[in-house]
Structure 1
């Protein structure tokens, strides 16, 4: 995770979590800080993403798209 100009904020989410439980934010992203954060988290598997300060909203709410497809 390299810095791009100013310090980036990263969000770490447990892969099996819901309702915001277990989410952690990290500013910067130096390798030592990431390793320390991962050791502190309860879940061994996490998803790491760039944090978006201004996400796309629908009527003021964040949303996600879940697409299910049956292939036969």
Structure 2
């Protein structure tokens, strides 16, 4: 009997979105769309879901005037 190696767990798109937003410089909407393959309205809906889960999402502007989103603080542990 041959043993097969277990496949590494796949990272969800929601987890990818959170990781990008947790970077110190945040992420632009276009970058979030490209990384997830989602349309802009779907990314914005996911941002709303993160807000509902307790994350504080900051929206700022970069040097070119594009919106940059970033998670300011994670939700409280145990909630």
Give the TM interval when normalised to the shorter protein: under 0.3
TM-score, normalised with respect to structure 1: 0.25
Higher helix share: 2
Q: Relative contact order (C-alpha < 8 Å, sep 6+): which is higher? A: 1
